[in-house]
Amino acid sequence: MPPSPALDPHVLVLFGARGDLAKRKLLPGLFRLAQVGLMPEEFRIIGSGRHAPDGEFTGEVRKALEEHAKDDLTDEAWKAFAERLSFVVSSADDGADLAKAVQDARKELGEESRTLLYLSVPPSAMKPMVGMLAETGLSTDRARIVMEKPFGSDLESAKALNAALHEHVEEDAIFRIDHFLGKEAAQDILALRFANGLFEPIWNREHVAAVQIDIPEELGLEGRGSFYEETGAFRDMVVTHLSQILGFVAMEAPESLDAGHLRDAKTAVFADVQPFQPGDAGDGQFAGYREEDGVDPDSTVETFVALKVAVDNDRWRGVPFLLRTGKAMAETRRVVTITLKRPEADIFDGSHRPNELTFELLDDPHIAVDLLVKVPGPTSEVTRAPLTLDVERVLNEHGLEAYERLFHDIMLGDHLLFTRADEVERLWACATPLLEDPPKPLTYDKGSWGPEAAAKLAEPIGWRLPEDA
Ligand code: BG6
């Protein structure tokens, strides 16, 4: 497809270009955008990191695309992509060569060109990198900085990182990524709530018994031992993805779909989210974690978290928000379940599960409302019958994967699906009691549903998947 005329020419710099995220998502995502005509006419991709590849960087990228790209890697498509790729070594201490390479590329692309600086580096490396970008002048003059999550590792470091950024860069040029917000299905939560008259009237404590945000993963560490030792499941997933989804589910209607209004609405609901209490959390560590590469043999880092969160406002007071995620679990799911209260006049057999609305946050989004219908025949029994909406099939042949959508938004300068300094800091403030007094992680078997004690947190409703009886 022809390139997008709406986008300025871009020099994209990927820090951490040889890392797992770049290989699985960022490079394949950029390749796909080029295939569907959503890259600028002129762009260059400069991979960067502390160590140059042994062979050609293009060879590494080719392999990553062979494994992870969704589109056909035709010779023509590969050639067009590969000739825009290069690699320059840089570190927080030395960005001179990179600055020169970016300058040269921008000269080639013209005055209108922009720099996109994507920091896919561990939280502890972010602040020194921001310093280097300022010193070398890389972050000025039509540059945008993209910060991977987690943004900081606690309230203090997040504030320091925001301050370091704001010293050199306008908030308008900062894109804090939480790729769950780029998932089609996450945005479906907003569409379902605010584009329809059907659900919003029941979206409150009068009608909702519980909200469950459940992201178990079969995946283990996948070679990310040292990253994981620094973050753990709580920082990696809960303060970030799960909390952001909670924001979409719990927020009041934003004034408009403008980035400012949407982020105001999220910030407002995060102000009502109560600090996470150690008594409402259960941590786990899968058996064998301590033997993984890059992991301390005495590590107490959690690979599983279950957490009950309270949102203290008129809409949600008393409704538990149940959050669960973990590595090496029985299944990979991304499910948001809104459990409704039973009808007051329950004249049918009241032993069934109450109505549930579920969102499966997959690339192929899936929404279902679980209803009770009468069993045909001479009986008054009811049975569960899901009403499903297969959004991908109905609406969207050309859906974008989360990182693809977000890259495109960054190049357009649209902040709608990115997090703002104040909301991130508020979430770290909520996390503080738990970071200061974390529950001891209980061991769980690989392929299980986590420590048994975590099940108690979700009582009386329990952790439930849509297909459970
Ligand atoms: C990442 C986490 O941000 O999200 C990973 O660092 C996790 O640990 C991943 O596996 C899940 O994302 P997705 O897009 O596969 O749902």
Nearest CA to ligand 1 atom 9: 237
DSSP output for 438-459: PPPPEEE-TTBSS-THHHHHTT
Q: State how far the Cα of 272 lies from the Cα of 250, in Å rounded to an integer.
A: 10
**Among candidate residues 186, 228, 176, 116, the one with its CA nearest the CA of residue 423:** 176
Residue 358 burial (CB < 10 Å; 0-12/13-18/19+)?
A: buried
Ligand 1 centroid from CA 337, angstroms: 19
CA of residue 21 to ligand 1 center, whole Å? 9
Atom index in ligand 1 nearest the CA of residue 237 equals 2
Choose, from 241, 366, 408, 415, the residue flagged as catalytic. 241
Q: Which residues contact 78 (CB under 8 A, 6 or more apart)?
A: 62, 65
Ligand 1 geometric centre to CA of 61 (Å): 20
Is 162 within 8 Å of 425 (Cβ atoms)? yes
The H or E element spanning position 408 is helix 402-412
Ligand 1: which of 180, 286, 363 to mutate, most ligand atoms within 8 Å of CB? 180
Q: How far apart are CA 413 and CA 398, in angstroms?
A: 22
Distance in Å, CA 324 to ligand 1 centroid: 14
Question: What pLDDT does residue 469 have?
Answer: 67
Distance, CA 362 to ligand 1 centroid (Å)?
12
In angstroms, what CA-CA distances link 270 with 21, 190, 388? Answer: 28, 16, 30
Q: What whole-number distance in Å separates Cα of residue 98 and Cα of residue 89?
A: 7
Find, among 357, 46, 41, the residue nearest to 207 by Cα: 357
Rounded CA gap, 341 and 353, in Å?
Answer: 10
Distance (Å, rounded) from C-alpha 30 to C-alpha 239?
27
Q: Return the residue whose CA atom lies nearest to atom 2 of ligand 1.
A: 236
Nearest CA-CA partner of 204 in 319, 312, 369: 319
Q: Which residues line ligand 1 (CB under 6 A)?
A: 179, 217, 219, 236, 334, 402
pTM of the model: 0.95
How many residues are there in the chain?
A: 469
* pLDDT recorded at residue 395: 46
- Of 272, 271, 276, the closest CA to residue 323 belongs to 276
Determine the pLDDT at residue 6. 83
Cis preceding-peptide flag for 460 (omega within 30 of 0): yes
Three-class SS state of 315: coil
**Half-sphere exposure for 463 (CA within 13 Å, toward CB):** 24
Whether 241 is a known active-site residue: answer: yes
Q: Distance between terminal CA atoms of the chain?
A: 47
Could you tell me which residues are beta bridge partners of residue 305?
A: 283, 325
Q: Which atom of ligand 1 is nearest to the CA of 334?
A: 16
pLDDT along the chain (469 residues), means of 10: 81 96 96 94 97 95 95 92 98 97 97 97 93 96 95 97 95 97 92 94 97 96 89 97 98 96 98 97 97 96 98 98 98 95 85 89 83 92 87 61 96 97 98 97 97 90 81
Spatial separation of the C-alpha atoms in residues 37 and 34, rounded to whole Å:
5
Cis peptide upstream of residue 150 (ω within 30 degrees of 0): yes
Residue written as token pair 């000739």: 83
pLDDT for residue 348: 86
Residue 216 is encoded by which pair of tokens? 């178990």
* Closest residue to atom 13 of ligand 1, CA basis: 180
Which pLDDT belongs to residue 1? 63
d(CA 426, CA 430): 6
Phi-psi region of 303 (alpha: psi -120 to 50; beta: other; left: phi over 0): alpha
Q: What is the DSSP letter of 409?
A: H
